[in-house]
Structure 1
């Protein structure tokens, strides 16, 4: 089974459209949708309750207060019942059509690969956000050598057991390829096309994300340096 984990905050207008698209994209598959409501103050809880009644396969996990996107993803991962978790943002900019493609790419790559990471094309963000993202991704690649052009894309597929093993910190969801490599697992990439947000505005700014990101980057660099060998573990007979 595939668990679709969607972190969101104050996305009541976008969720009905997005959840409908997820159901259409996953038709014929064994899947569940886990929406993690990160302390929304709009009608998000009511919208999710109605969507769960009308369409099924939808689980609503709620934070009593906003804890951030990374914490919301983590809550969804630990609630997941599927063998594979595919993440996507709740604002509608990630196209659900890529969900099965990511899951299939991960499974097809075999057990040595830990993550299938979406790589955005045709970005719809403002020029300032695009430039800041390009700079951050370039700096991250020079320091971490994770071979990933765009680690900030919300569309990612990971094996659930691996996802739960990764060291957690705020901002963790932006470094999943590097953290998977730290566990001795490979990375495959899937090009995806970004979309424009229909309703609302982003909950994340450029400066606050950028300043925290520099600290996170060197934290991940330190974590990778502190694990130099990943052994293959085999239990021998008695």
Structure 2
């Protein structure tokens, strides 16, 4: 099948969520506005996730997977998804399903005019501490990048593959996807999407790495912005 859209789902020790993930993504495939496939990226899980992923992909034609030798982190899983996807559009969703796959259709309404469309958890269903730490982290990031985004941590995005595949790799990448598209002179838009409480599994980020990590990564971004190479081809022969 000629797929046009790949949804990347990074997975690290999410065995309690994988049956729901399969069900909800399968349901989305029935209503997707473009022919869609699912790329599950196992980030070196130490639980039963890989075995479950293999079974999910064996029984679903539109599902396939890659698996790391060891845990490399969320940014590495997203970047690997960008590298291995072979469709003109690439999406991203967290396997904890705190966002709804059906909302990809909301983002898809704007992707023709923009190079990245990201969700915005305007009515976020998280604890007070998690919401406040993310608010502070987003404020720090915006002051460095001037990307205008309220919620770059929202795990629901669509990116044109030409832009996604040119993003350089570094830890903390997932917080800077809109800024990295803007470095390429691309255009970005945020759209409010639904958000739900986590009902299974454990969160992989905590107060410390929500605050200190983004601050350190901002300095890495400023260095990259200064050194970034951008070019456009005027003629071929």
TM-score normalised over the length of structure 1 = 0.91
Q: Please name the residue that 2:145 is paired with.
A: 144
- The alpha-carbon deviation at position 230 of structure 1 amounts to 4.9
Q: Please name the residue that 1:96 is paired with.
A: 101
| Contact kept in structure 1, 2:136 and 2:211, CA below 8 Å | no
Q: Please name the residue that 2:89 is paired with.
A: 84
Which one of the candidate residues 3, 8, 26 is aligned to 1:5?
Answer: 8
- The alpha-carbon deviation at position 233 of structure 1 amounts to 2.7
Deviates more, 1:218-227 or 1:11-20: 218-227
Q: Please name the residue that 1:105 is paired with.
A: 110
Change (3 A) 1:94 1:7: same
- The alpha-carbon deviation at position 26 of structure 1 amounts to 2.7
| Contact kept in structure 2, 1:25 and 1:100, CA below 8 Å | no
Q: Please name the residue that 1:159 is paired with.
A: 160
Unaligned runs of 5+ in 2: none
Q: Distance in 2 between matches of 1:17 and 1:63?
A: 22
Q: Please name the residue that 1:65 is paired with.
A: 70
Change (3 A) 1:230 1:64: closer
TM-score normalised over the length of structure 2 = 0.92
Q: Distance in 1 between matches of 2:5 and 2:49?
A: 24
For the residue of structure 2 that corresponds to 1:98, the secondary structure is helix
Q: Please name the residue that 1:205 is paired with.
A: 206
Number of equivalenced pairs: 232
For the residue of structure 2 that corresponds to 1:125, the secondary structure is coil
For the residue of structure 2 that corresponds to 1:105, the secondary structure is coil
Q: Please name the residue that 2:19 is paired with.
A: 16
For the residue of structure 2 that corresponds to 1:26, the secondary structure is helix
Deviations 1:102-125 (Å, cap 9, x if unpaired)?
233212x1xxx3211111122122
Deviations 1:108-144 (Å, cap 9, x if unpaired)?
x1xxx32111111221221111001101111211221
Q: Please name the residue that 1:132 is paired with.
A: 133
Q: Please name the residue that 2:80 is paired with.
A: 75
Deviations 1:26-46 (Å, cap 9, x if unpaired)?
325311100101111111112
Q: Distance in 2 between matches of 1:38 and 1:103?
A: 27
Q: Distance in 2 between matches of 1:41 and 1:103?
A: 34
RMSD after superposition: 1.7
- The alpha-carbon deviation at position 232 of structure 1 amounts to 4.1
Q: Distance in 2 between matches of 1:41 and 1:235?
A: 50
